Structure formats: C-alpha cells, structure tokens
Chains A and B, each alone.
Chain A
Amino acid sequence: MNAITLIELSKTYPGGKKAVDSVNINLSPGEVFGFLGPNGAGKTTTVKLLGGMLRPTGGSCSIFAIDSVKEPEKVHALCGVVTEHAQMYDSLTGIQNLMFYGSVYGLSSSESQKRGLELLNQLELSEAKDQKLFSYSTGMRQRLSLARSLIHQPKILFLDEPTSGLDPESAQNVHGMIRHLAKEKGITVFLCTHQLRYAQEICTRYGLMDKGRLLAEGTLDQLRTKVCSGAVMKIKATGVPSDLSCHQTPEGVLEIPIQSEEEVPKTARRIVESGGNIYHISTKLPSLEDIYFHLTNRKENCR
C-alpha cells in the first residue's frame, strides 16, 4: 500500500490562483521524498491538501489509502506535521507543550512526559525543557516543533522547511535524525525545502515543483537521465588537443562536457597520445541543484 498518493491533485484559490496543478505522486513507506521548489511553487499548499486543511479543487490525495478530505482526523493520527504556520503555545514550557500535544494525540500523561523528554534530549533541548516558549530562539522553536510532530510516533512526517532558522550544526543534527527515522523506524518523510544540497544528502526521491506544476519526479539517477544526462569531466593537463571542446576555469582546470563516463578514458588517451601530460582527472555528475536550475530555466545549461 502506498504511504502517500496524489492523483491529479489540483488546488485553485478563490482569487483564481492555481497553487497546485494536476500533481501525481506515489510514495512507498520509508521513502524520504524531497519536494523541491522556489517560494510559491505550491509545496506548502500540497502539504495542507494532504493534511486535509485545504479541499482540493480537482483530483484527490490519500495517506495509506485514507482520503485526506473525507477522514482528516484519521490522517492526522498517522502524520506529524511541521510547518511555519503551525506554532506552539508561548505561555507553556517546552515539556508542557509536548505533554499537551501528547495528550491530544491520545497518550497518557506519563507516556507523553517520557516521550517528550526523550525527544527533547535527542533534539538537544533538555536544558530548555522548563523554559517558557517565548524565550526560545527560532532554531529552538523549530526543533521543538519537530519534537511535537514526533510525539505520537507517526508513520508519515510532513516537514515544510524544517531547518530554516537553524545553524549548520543543528541543521545537520536534524537531517541526521530524519535519515535515522526513515531508515530505522520506516517513517515516510515528505520534505519540502529549497535547500537543495541538504535535500540531496537525505532524500531517496525527489519531486521538483514550480508554479504549481510537478516538473519532474524520481530518484537522482532517474532525474539525471530524464532531465540532464550530461556530466562534466574535470581535467588538469597540459598539451590538450585544440579541437577538444572545453572550458577553462579560473583555477586552470578544464571542463569537458561528456555524455557518459565511457568517454573519460577515451579523452584521456587522446590527450596522452597527442603528447600532453595529465595531473588530475575527475567526473562530475549533475547535482540536484543543476537539475533543478535546468528545469526551472534559471540556468540555461547544466554545468
């Protein structure tokens, strides 16, 4: 059974703005799905549609075959959601907040406390557990939101920019935790972000959105094949034949576009046979960032 299913999902706001346009996605349990796109691409709207907070104007979406519109409370029991708009109570302390949400999710008071303390410890918030939320920094709030979303041990985690406002160390910690949750606990993660480098580190599949449309979807290899197959061979050498199409970086490294890694030994042989010397060779496959920019036409070509 799919963990998340979107079939021709569309949402047009009353003003006429089409935020999500016929999106199709199927996710298996345990996948870490990077839902990528610029601000206004429709990522948050999609999360709200999946959580039942918005009604689709077309298509449907479901969580473990439960329709988000028809049975939102059942969907909520299976999901944890972290979004910028879902805040917690400033007048309560960190642990009080977690205990409150634990009890609303049906945990007993002692269970909520135990689980809350564990999560605070994992997210390095133990020292601030008795501080009221108004004294928390943005990063601490963000981590507490993540703890809140995990209090009831959800099967699916919707994370909308979970590391915005976090310092690199905390962001790394959160990413490690997401990876662990997916790998060890089999939690499906639906991660909305525009931090493409981080996404590439932790996601197993990607969906690239722009202006409400899903431009491409698949694993990194699939996206490379579908969108931007060309790689770049980086070579530091002398005596390179003049007819070899290449671009020289300011550091003196030559970048030669290639279609596949098979071309690397052939090109190297040509340089050597023409009397050149090779000091270093590497190949660079298109990164997620390259694919993303290629798709959104922000850069004309893959680097």
Chain B
Amino acid sequence: MNTQMAAIIKKDMQSITSNKRMFATLLIVPIVLTIFLPSVFILTLYFVPEEGEELLQLLETLPLPLQSGSSLQSMILLMLNFILPGFFLMIPIMASSVMSAASFVGEKEKRTLETLLYCPLSLKQIFRSKVTASFLISMVVSGISFAAMLVVVEALSYTITGGFVLPDIKWIFILFLVAPAISLIAITLIVRMSAKAQSVEDAQQGAVFLLIPVLLLLIGQFTGILLISSWLLLSIGILCAFAAVILLNKSMSHFQYETLLKN
C-alpha cells in the first residue's frame, strides 16, 4: 500500500460521510437491525410472555448452557446467539454494497472515474484501493453495529431480568470471518457489475440476491430446520473467505480501461 492508494482510500471514505443520502442509508439499516429489532424482541418477550411459548419449546432442544438462568434470560440469550446473527449479517452486505456501488459506479456516473484512471497507478492498484475503502467502511459499520446491539441487549436484559447475557463464540466467527468474507463477496459482485451498470441503483440491486442465503438461514432458525452452530458458522465463514478471494482475483484480472469506461 503506497501513499497514492491511501489517498484514494481516504477520499472514498470521506465521500461517504459527506453524502447525506448515502450516510443515512448506511445508518438506518444497522439502527433497525441492531437497536430497534432486538428491543422489540425483548420487550415483546417481557410484556407478552405467551408469545414466547413456542420459543420455550425450542429452548428445550438447545444445548444445556442455554437453559441456565430464568426462562426470560434464556430467551434473550437465544435471541442474541441464534436469531440476531442472521439479521446482523445483512449489515456488512448492505454497507459494502452501498459503499462499493458509490465508489465504482458512482464515479462512472459522475464522470470522475476517467480522471482517476489517468493517474499513475495501475488498474489493480486503483481497484485495490477502492475495494479496501468499501471493505473498511463495511467493517467499521459492522463493528459499531455489533457494539450498539450488545449495549442495547445487555441494557434491556439487565433492566428486565437483573442479569447480563453472554454472546457465545459464534460472534467471534461472525465478526472476524463471516462478515469480512461476505463483505468482500458483495464488493466483488458490485465491482463486476460496475462495468455494465449505468447507475448506483442498478449496481445495488445486483447485491440483493446475496441476502437470499442469509434470509434462508434466518427462516431456518425460526422454523427450527437449521440451527446455526458455531462450527457451521466457522465452515460457512471459511467457505465464504475462499469464495471472496477467488472472486476478487478473478475480477481484478478481467479489468481493462476500455471495459470500465464503456457506456
């Protein structure tokens, strides 16, 4: 990484905060998924306990450590470690899609890409800088979202049950493996589409189908068909990381000035 690439990364990261519309998009989804949603879940369990009966049945099938403490606390723990991961994974996908669409297609749309391509950096260096900027924003948003979610869940748990709930090891896998890997996959997909996409919206739509596996995972959780175990998450994470590296390298080798500037 040289100072020229660092300049592009810095500019891309600053541009997201100066664009109010994009910044709002980056904020709203994490707020809904990590603050609003857990609060609604926990408050529903507290105020309407009969709604949680089905969850209690599910609790009986779970490993022993989850069954310690009050049933309300167990349900909060269940939510934190089994339901929220699925919702949480939407954040890196969303953040990296918004950022990379603005970074690649946005520059093309605003005719600033050509100016950047005339700089004395190779296409790979420009590409890497932009991927890094999108990736860093995605990781920062994911990290802050996780912290906010934890604060909200712990505060509500303590207020309602008088005790804290502990996130299990799968959150480590999510934060350090799955979220970075799916961010990279989302960025790569947007970048691949950037040659054909004419607008930022076009490119973002393409990343929507990345949400499908996450939604399936969530449905699996709710219906009890598939429970996310730590080992399953680790495997998914490793698989995604491999896929991300392969896709990224393949995309880089495909790029030429002419295809990038094609209208």
Contact = CB atoms under 8 A, between A and B. Distances in A.
A87 B257 CA distance: 16
Given A53-B261, A54-B258, A55-B258, A101 B112 contact: no
B225 interface: no
Interface residues of A, number: 28
A104 B4 contact: yes
B110 A83 contact: no
Interface string A58-95: 00000000000000111011010101011111111000
Interface string B57-68: 000000000000
Contact of A104 (B121, B123, B261): B121
B212 interface: no
Contacts, number: 72
Contact of A87 (B7, B11, B19, B115): B115
B115 A91 contact: no
Contacts of B121: 73, 76, 104
A136 interface: no
A148 interface: yes
Q: Is the interface of A mostly helix, strand, loop or mixed?
A: loop
Contacts of B112: 86-89
A53 B120 contact: no
Contacts of B257: 52-54, 72
Nearest to B7: A103
Contacts of A73: 120-122
A100 interface: yes
A87 B108 CA distance: 10
Contact of A86 (B3, B15, B18, B115): B115
A103 B120 CA distance: 11
Q: Is the interface of B mostly helix, strand, loop or mixed?
A: helix
B19 A91 contact: yes
A104 B116 contact: yes
Given A55-B258, A81-B118, A89-B15, A106 B111 contact: no
A293 interface: no
B119 interface: yes
A83 B114 contact: yes
A89 B12 CA distance: 11
Contacts of B123: 72
A51 interface: yes
Contacts of A91: 15, 18-19
B214 interface: no
B4 A105 contact: yes
Given A89-B15, A104-B4, A105-B120, A55 B256 contact: yes
B246 interface: no
B110 A90 contact: yes
Nearest to B119: A104
Contacts of A74: 120
A106 B115 contact: no
A148 B119 CA distance: 11
Contact of B119 (A53, A85, A87, A101): A101
Most buried by B among A79, A88, A89: A89
B114 A53 contact: yes
A291 B130 CA distance: 48
A26 to B, nearest CB: 23
A73 B119 CA distance: 7
A86 to B, nearest CB: 4
B42 to A, nearest CB: 40
B101 to A, nearest CB: 16
A232 to B, nearest CB: 44
A76 B258 contact: no
B8 interface: yes
B117 interface: yes
16 contacts: A53-B114, A53-B118, A54-B257, A74-B120, A77-B120, A87-B114, A88-B112, A88-B115, A89-B15, A90-B110, A100-B7, A103-B7, A104-B4, A104-B119, A104-B120, A106-B120
Given A86-B115, A91-B15, 15 more contacts: A53-B118, A53-B261, A54-B257, A73-B121, A74-B120, A86-B111, A86-B114, A87-B110, A87-B112, A89-B15, A89-B112, A100-B7, A101-B119, A103-B4, A105-B120
4 tightest A-B CB contacts, nearest first = A77-B120, A103-B7, A86-B115, A87-B111
